[in-house]
Amino acid sequence: MKAYQLIEWQQPPKLVDIPVPEPGPGQVRLKVAGNGVCQSDLHLIHEWTASPAHIQVELPMTIGHEVAGWIDKEGPGVSGFEQGQAAVITIAGCGHCRYCAQGWNQYCQHKGKQVGMGLDGGLAEFVLAPANAVVPVGDMDPVEAAPLTDAGLSSYHAVKRIIHLLDPGTTVAVIGVGGLGHMAIQELKALCSARIVAYDLNETSLQLAAELGADECLKSDDAFYQPMSADVVLDFVGAAPTIAGAAKMIRPLGHIVVVGRGGGSIDFTHRFMPYGATLSTTFGGSKVELIELISLVEAGHIKPHITRYPLDDVALVLDKLAKGEITGRAVIEP
């Protein structure tokens, strides 16, 4: 089968021909329908090292962690799936630590290798996944479902963390209307009545934000970040200028969620922050949040905005993503 593999650190991945993998105990094989391309793929290719700070990744490894497909074969000891059933792959936890017991599998104390981050990923014709990471998506087109597992779920988890602050009459700022941000706008529309102000540098992304129902769409620029204008800021970029913007916009008792890994920092002191303001990072989402998100899609409240590309175009898509030229999410169809 064809697979897009990272062979050497800091070198462009290559399209190679490898055998179709056999599912081992506890694993399921999926025929890949779609794989969304994410900023984290760029991070993995260009900045990852074999350092202990990262999940241990051995090369060569097939990349792609936003995967959907059809159940193809159950490994020994696995049951309950149907041949040809559409499903997505999420983050598997150990299942027995305190975080997993509470349903927070993405914060698992023993979180190990994940599909596309240590285990071979979805930019291939077939992929293996731990059975406890596979979630069926009903009648949904699995190509459209692929972005739900990361772009959709990571934004949904960030929204769920702060939804209790968004009573009628409040304002939420969404910085960065990319793969995650365009989903966040729809998730906010589905869950609350707060006024949504979207910020992005790209005119096409701001048009998409307006189509998705953002109340105001502004250039992501200091001139447009109004002091104390938001009860919640969701920063899907996390770079120095956007975090500074978040700190400027947040109101007393407000909450800033930094989702993007842009490397910016914040002077979180009384001198710069309004009273009662809080700040958090987030990572991924839980399995039950993924199931909630699938229900919102099935009910017609949310639709990922995707552009489809063939497997041969992964390098082109990564290049466009790095340049900020992708609107919504690019999904590769192997």
State which of positions 113-172 bind Zn ion (CB under 5 A): 150
162 Cβ partners below 8 Å, 6+ apart? 172, 232, 234, 255, 257
- Tokens for 321? 């993503």
**Tokens standing for residue 18:** 């490898």
Smaller CB distance to Zn ion: residue 94 or 244? 94
d(CA 69, CA 73): 12
Q: Does 42 bind Zn ion (CB under 5 A)?
A: no
Distance separating alpha carbons of residues 325 and 21, to the nearest angstrom: 34
Q: Which of 42, 97, 140, 244 touches Zn ion by CB under 5 A?
A: 97
d(CA 202, CA 196): 18
Based on the shown chain and the rule CB under 5 A, indicate whether residue 94 belongs to the binding site for Zn ion: yes
Part of the chain binding Zn ion (CB under 5 A), chosen from 34-42, 219-227, 258-266, 310-318 = 34-42
For Zn ion, which is the closer residue by CB, 81 or 99? 99
Place of tokens 């304002």: 171
Decide if 149 contacts 129 (C-beta within 8 A): no
Nearest to Zn ion of 23, 260 (CB atom): 260
Q: Where does this chain touch Zn ion (CB under 5 A) — which range of 16-24, 98-106, 132-140, 168-176?
A: 98-106
By rule CB under 5 A, what count of residues binds Zn ion?
A: 8
Which x/- pattern, by CB under 5 A, does the window 195-234 give for Zn ion? ----------------------------------------
- Out of 40, 132, 207, 229, which residue is the one contacting Zn ion (CB under 5 A)? 40
The answer to whether 157 and 113 are in contact (CB under 8 A) is: no
Please report whether residue 108 would count as binding Zn ion according to CB under 5 A.
yes
Count Cβ neighbours within 10 Å for each residue of 253-267 and write b for 16 or more, e otherwise.
ebbbbbbbbbebebe
Q: How far is the CB of 55 from Zn ion (least distance, A)?
A: 13
* Beta pairing class for 27-36 and 67-74: antiparallel
Minimum CB distance to Zn ion smaller for 65 or for 195? 65
DSSP letter for 215, please.
S
Kindly state the smallest distance separating residue 43's Cβ from Zn ion, in Å. 9
Residues that bind Zn ion (CB under 5 A): 38, 40, 93-94, 97, 100, 108, 150
